[in-house]
Structure 1
Amino acid sequence: MKRNSITLACTLVAALLSHPVDAADLIRIGSPYVTTTLDPVRSTAAGNIEAFGQLYARLLRRDETGVVQPGLASEWTISEDGLELVFKLRAAKFSNGTPITAEDVAFSLTRAMKDEKSVYGATLAAVESVSAEDPGTIRVKLKHRFAPILDNLEVFNAGIVSKADVEGRGEKAFSDNPVSSGPYQVREWRPNDRLILEPNPNYWREGYPKNDGAEFIEVANSNTRVSMLMAGELDAMREVPWAQLESVGAHEKLRMALEPSTVIYMTLLNERRPPFDNIKVRQAAAHALNVPAITKAMTEGHAAPANTTLPAALDHHARDLPAITYDPALAQTLLAEGGYDGKELTMLISSNADAEKLATLLQAQWAAVGLKTKIEKVDRGVWWERVPAGEYDLAPSWWYNETSDPDLAVRWAVCGTCGTHSFHTYYDNATVNELTEQAVRELDPTKRGALYREIQKISTEEVAQIPLYYPPYANAYANAVDGLTLSPSLQWSLEEAVLSK
């Protein structure tokens, strides 16, 4: 008995020595988004993406201006025909001290592309193969010219994992507590509560991270997050309510930041069934909405009304294209011409205050022109079951793009043959589909821009979705944190951040 007590005491002392950082030294980030997996190819959920960016280094990284820079790859070359890229690895190690080799890179990228459980293979769909030429050299062969290849090799699911770790311990053990290649490793994960990170002692960037670690704390209620931030229980928070921006910014120990995003709020219309299989009814639903008024009501004037089906922050966004006009009389005419029979349509929304507010605004403006809707509230999991299954009529929502390049956005939102059925609306225009393939193969920026302009023109006029507004990220920070920002691609600059308390 005494012997066991001594053993237990020694174990506790060892645990304390191995994790000496006090919670007060961690940067505490409050977010409404949950962490459900630490495997970078198994999820595209926001909370997981934020964690992936801290745990896994990529071949390339973005600097504070958004420009792609060397990451695990110290240099690279691209063949004249644009079909082969060769990357040279720098000397780097995983968190357990083992070298990061070309075999690990080939394993990681191939897993993201071809593993049957990979949820986002589209980022690397143009890649034919990834091979290790020698321990420090990777060759990437493309099926065709692919303009955004460098951007896509910086996306979260291109994070490099240890082949030996994944295969040796198995995917479940790896996902719960992975060997990492990024600036941090897992100190503790409490599902449905928080993810605690500590510095990776073998991170390749010497002198980074500049802090002792972080806690990603899951706080669903936005008002609770604000209260915790004001009370000093958080050092940063995601998604300050628009109505509270002024009060948070006025707090002497806080600063409010409206950071650029690639987010677009829009409304999905199910084109697999009446009435939205008729273009005139879709156009009627769009012309019935006073988008500038909705934007102001939802964001207190902090977002810009959307003018096309693509986010404004993307390269080649067609800022000169006119937005869909607010014209109730035209909406009524189009409803009649489209054969709308007065049936009450189901508007499917997630059960949260912002979604309910938006749905109520939409419902009132549609009712004014005779388009009848009923609001059905479900939890987010059910929403993501029913929308892909086509079990809805209308569904206000939002999405964002992982890079500034528009290819992934087009494939997600308006391409009918690219895997998502135009974000599950089943919008399918042969010209848009063909332009999508032309644009991704075009390396001349001016010519690419013209192709994406045409995609936006067609998909907006045909109301592939109803564009609503382009919001920034509304994040807040304690003055004690310096250097912490959130990029448009949901990546925290955490390794750059300094905490002074």
Structure 2
Amino acid sequence: MKAGRKVWSVLMLTLIIAVIAAGCGGGNGKNTGGNAQPGNSAGTTKTSTKDNKDVVIAVNANFITLDPHNASDTNSISGARTMYEGLLGFDENMGLSPALATEYKISDDGLTYTFTLREGVKFHDGTDFNSEAVAINIARIQDEKNNLRLRKSFAKVAKVETPDAKTVVFTLTEPYNAFLNKVAMAGMISPKALEEKGENIVKEPVGTGAFKFKEWVQGDRLVVVKNEEYWQVGVPKVDSVTFRPVPENGSRIAMLKTSEADFIYPMPTEQVSEVEGVEGIKINKVDSTIVRYVTLNTTKKPYDDLKVRQAINYAINKEAYIKVVKSGLGKKLDSTMSSKTQHYSQQNGYDFDLEKAKSLLAEAGYPNGFEAEIWGENDSETIKGMQFISQQLAQVGIKVEVKSMEGGTLSDMINSAKTPEEAKIQMWYVSWSPSSGDADGATRGLFSSEMWPPAGANTAYYKNENVDKWIAEANKSIDPKVAKDIYANIQKTIWEDAPWAFMGVDQIVSGSRDYLNGVKVYPDGSINIRQAEVK
């Protein structure tokens, strides 16, 4: 019986690979972000040069917002970070680094954070950056009427004091061990611009960053230009950067080959071997904090049944997923977060087992499976992933309709539901990376019952009283060892509750022309262009 199952699994895997390769391979399809033509073959690509300092970066999806206090998708975070800075920032390993603050001190009880601000910094509109600007930004974040995504990250801030222009003091209601990471997420907006532009600040950013806003044409381009008055000497080194959303994989790779794009991310994984080692093109790989998963709406039948959720996990061959969808550039997800994320704890189980999946479905009252739908964005790789999942689940009788949508439309579909009863979402194939770099960023927004849409990204509508309690306890812990133990309990419990189909962890792959240096994709998937340089 074991040998027979193994042969059957191999035959099914071969069939799935053939179907997906035929239907979803990167091609020269419609380019929604530019006018790329099919590139030359890899063997004829020549070493290239660039005679200007205007850089083009092709990404896989649209920007949803440029509000640094409300961005949650990786592309929007990347766009906002070109123009905005926080008191702290992140280095290429997601460690904290100085930015608008040169230093900070934390009181022994973990309640008071005192920041010394960088002097001589100006916003893009010429106004001074100072402690009062920080206070105004935090007030905006905390204002419930604004309903910004960062609000819960600053909910424990009781008061913000500004004893002088270069000093700001945060007093918390209770210890919050992820606070510094949240501070790094909060880009500072010009108070003058907030007053004059109002809601238009979302589309017309005014920060302190190395680049200034020029234009944003939704679905076509975001253009930022050099900030001549930037506080860091010698930065930036290019005149402008244009981001172009190009969902179709084949179009992005064609743009790279023809130098219509100087940098592309993500690099289509199925085409890495085609261009790797080719003159004129560099391939960059980084281990990531990006996890791929399918949220299962735990408030709706049949996903409210634990056995159904577990069956879905057993029915999907995660190793085949990495091979087929990610071209081997990644690994199976074995917890609720990547091993590169703070306080990660490895879990066991949910190995591919069709018989176990069928048995669990039968026990749950679905011996013949059921009909379902899965949502996702409309880029090539996401569609490929959803089709793979649909093929896998069909083996146990779950008939999945694939529904791909543009990112903004998908976000509206999810966040327009004010209550779980209004939610139409069943399954959502998506990725998440804690852009704050901490375990809280990989946990609270996804699994706390306070973070159901539209307040957060808990699109599984998952609720576990112990998990809610532990998240609060972990945040209060000043001792990292205690926090690590708590997060281990959180990950184990969520893993067993299976509000997700746990898929994989990405290896980040980007491509660039060899004349471009300094553009980096961080482990959270955000693109950093501050050190971009054309040589």
Residues 114 and 286 of structure 1: CA distance in aligned 2, closer, same or farther (over 3 Å): same
Deviation at 1:251, TM superposition (A): 2.0
Pair 1:224 & 2:251 matched: yes
Judge conservation of contact 1:49–1:490 (CA < 8 Å) in 2.
Answer: no
Q: SS state of the match for residue 116, structure 1? A: helix
Judge conservation of contact 2:376–2:383 (CA < 8 Å) in 1.
Answer: yes
Counterpart for residue 363 of structure 2: 337
Where structure 1 has 5 or more consecutive residues not aligned to the other structure, the ranges are 1-21
Pair 1:136 & 2:163 matched: no
Query: After the TM superposition, which parts of structure 1 deviate over 6 Å for at least 4 consecutive aligned residues?
Result: none
Q: SS state of the match for residue 240, structure 1? A: coil
**Alignment match of 1:197 (pick from 209, 219, 224):** 224
**Alignment match of 2:520 (pick from 482, 485, 488):** 485
**Aligned AA (2:128):** P
Which string of whole-angstrom CA distances, capped at 9 and with x for unpartnered residues, describes residues 50-72 of structure 1?
Answer: 12111112111223443212211
Q: 1:75-90 to 2 correspondence within 5 Å?
A: 75-90=103-118
Q: 1:314-333 to 2 correspondence within 5 Å?
A: 314-319=341-346, 321-333=347-359
Counterpart for residue 11 of structure 1: none
TM-score normalised by L of structure 2: 0.83
Counterpart for residue 350 of structure 1: 377
Distance 1:359 1:410 in 2: 24
Counterpart for residue 433 of structure 2: 400
Deviation at 1:145, TM superposition (A): 0.5
Distance 2:395 2:91 in 1: 48
**Alignment match of 2:60 (pick from 32, 35, 39):** 32
Pair 1:462 & 2:497 matched: yes
Q: SS state of the match for residue 144, structure 1? A: coil
Counterpart for residue 481 of structure 2: 446
Judge conservation of contact 1:288–1:328 (CA < 8 Å) in 2.
Answer: yes
Deviation at 1:461, TM superposition (A): 1.3
**Alignment match of 1:110 (pick from 118, 139, 160):** 139
Counterpart for residue 5 of structure 1: none
Deviation at 1:220, TM superposition (A): 2.8
**Aligned AA (1:142):** L
Judge conservation of contact 1:309–1:464 (CA < 8 Å) in 2.
Answer: no
Q: SS state of the match for residue 398, structure 1? A: strand
Which string of whole-angstrom CA distances, capped at 9 and with x for unpartnered residues, describes residues 351-383 of structure 1?
Answer: 443333222322232222233333344444443
Deviation at 1:267, TM superposition (A): 1.1
Distance 1:65 1:271 in 2: 34
Q: SS state of the match for residue 489, structure 2? A: helix
Deviates most, 87-96 or 77-86: 87-96
Judge conservation of contact 2:127–2:192 (CA < 8 Å) in 1.
Answer: no
Distance 2:328 2:104 in 1: 44
**Alignment match of 2:322 (pick from 282, 286, 295):** 295
Q: SS state of the match for residue 458, structure 2? A: helix
Q: SS state of the match for residue 300, structure 1? A: coil
**Aligned AA (1:364):** Q
Residues 384 and 56 of structure 1: CA distance in aligned 2, closer, same or farther (over 3 Å): closer
Judge conservation of contact 1:407–1:440 (CA < 8 Å) in 2.
Answer: yes
Which string of whole-angstrom CA distances, capped at 9 and with x for unpartnered residues, describes residues 359-415 of structure 1?
Answer: 232223222223333334444444334445321332222222112211022112222
Deviates most, 488-497 or 405-414: 488-497
Distance 1:176 1:330 in 2: 50
Distance 1:33 1:366 in 2: 27
Pair 1:145 & 2:145 matched: no
Q: How many residues align?
A: 475
Distance 2:322 2:276 in 1: 21
Pair 1:427 & 2:462 matched: yes
Deviation at 1:159, TM superposition (A): 0.8
Counterpart for residue 150 of structure 2: 120
**Alignment match of 2:212 (pick from 174, 185, 210):** 185
Counterpart for residue 17 of structure 2: none
Judge conservation of contact 2:342–2:437 (CA < 8 Å) in 1.
Answer: yes
Q: SS state of the match for residue 161, structure 2? A: strand
Identity score, percent: 27
Counterpart for residue 261 of structure 2: 234
Deviation at 1:110, TM superposition (A): 2.2
Distance 2:219 2:401 in 1: 32
Judge conservation of contact 2:268–2:381 (CA < 8 Å) in 1.
Answer: no
Judge conservation of contact 1:180–1:200 (CA < 8 Å) in 2.
Answer: no
Residues 171 and 422 of structure 1: CA distance in aligned 2, closer, same or farther (over 3 Å): closer
Counterpart for residue 127 of structure 2: 98
Distance 1:274 1:170 in 2: 43
Counterpart for residue 96 of structure 2: 68
Deviation at 1:419, TM superposition (A): 4.2
Distance 2:534 2:214 in 1: 19
Counterpart for residue 533 of structure 2: 498
Which string of whole-angstrom CA distances, capped at 9 and with x for unpartnered residues, describes residues 436-457 of structure 1?
Answer: 1111111222221111111111
Which string of whole-angstrom CA distances, capped at 9 and with x for unpartnered residues, describes residues 235-276 of structure 1?
Answer: 111111111112222320111112232211111111112211
Judge conservation of contact 2:269–2:326 (CA < 8 Å) in 1.
Answer: yes
Judge conservation of contact 1:95–1:201 (CA < 8 Å) in 2.
Answer: no
Q: SS state of the match for residue 461, structure 2? A: coil
TM-score normalised by L of structure 1: 0.89
Q: SS state of the match for residue 228, structure 1? A: helix
Residues 251 and 113 of structure 1: CA distance in aligned 2, closer, same or farther (over 3 Å): farther
Distance 2:261 2:252 in 1: 8
**Aligned AA (1:398):** S
Judge conservation of contact 1:185–1:200 (CA < 8 Å) in 2.
Answer: yes
Deviation at 1:100, TM superposition (A): 0.7
Which string of whole-angstrom CA distances, capped at 9 and with x for unpartnered residues, describes residues 76-131 of structure 1?
Answer: 11111111111111212222333211111111122123252323323323222323
Judge conservation of contact 1:267–1:467 (CA < 8 Å) in 2.
Answer: yes
Which string of whole-angstrom CA distances, capped at 9 and with x for unpartnered residues, describes residues 200-223 of structure 1?
Answer: 222221222233232222323221
Where structure 2 has 5 or more consecutive residues not aligned to the other structure, the ranges are 1-49, 418-422
